[in-house]
Amino acid sequence: MAKRRRKLSPELEKNISLAKKQIELITAIIHDIDEDDIQEEYKTAFFPVMSAYMSLEQMYREVGFNDETTNLHQLYLTNLDKFKNEYEL
């Protein structure tokens, strides 16, 4: 049986690319923190953001654009805003 084509979204692809850059930047900033205890606290707090991004990227690559990828992008944005509001970078 033929495999279904993924539905793509240029806008979501752009948002995923932007999210990747934000993840890389924030991860680098966290790794630059000198105090191990504080660095671990930031890593733990940033994990939900990273997890949402990784799920979004993987699902988009495998499935394409759908309601679930849209919801994962929204979850990523919500988690990122929460992290930024609670932790100073």
- This prediction's pTM: 0.90
Does residue 46 lie within any of the structural domains? Answer: yes
Q: Which domain holds residue 14?
A: 10-86
Instruction: List pLDDT tens digits, range 21-31.
Output: 999 999 999 99
List pLDDT tens digits, range 35-60: 999 999 999 999 999 999 999 999 99
pLDDT band at 6 (very low <50, low <70, confident <90, very high): confident
Chain-centroid distance of CA 87 in Å reads 17
Overall domain count for the chain: 1
Q: Is 3 helix (H, G, I), strand (E, B) or coil?
A: coil
Residue 45 falls inside a structural domain? yes
* Cα end-to-end distance, the chain, whole Å: 50
Question: Residue 34 falls within a domain, yes or no?
Answer: yes
Asked if residue 81 is part of any domain, the answer here is yes
CB 64 within 8 A of CB 7: yes
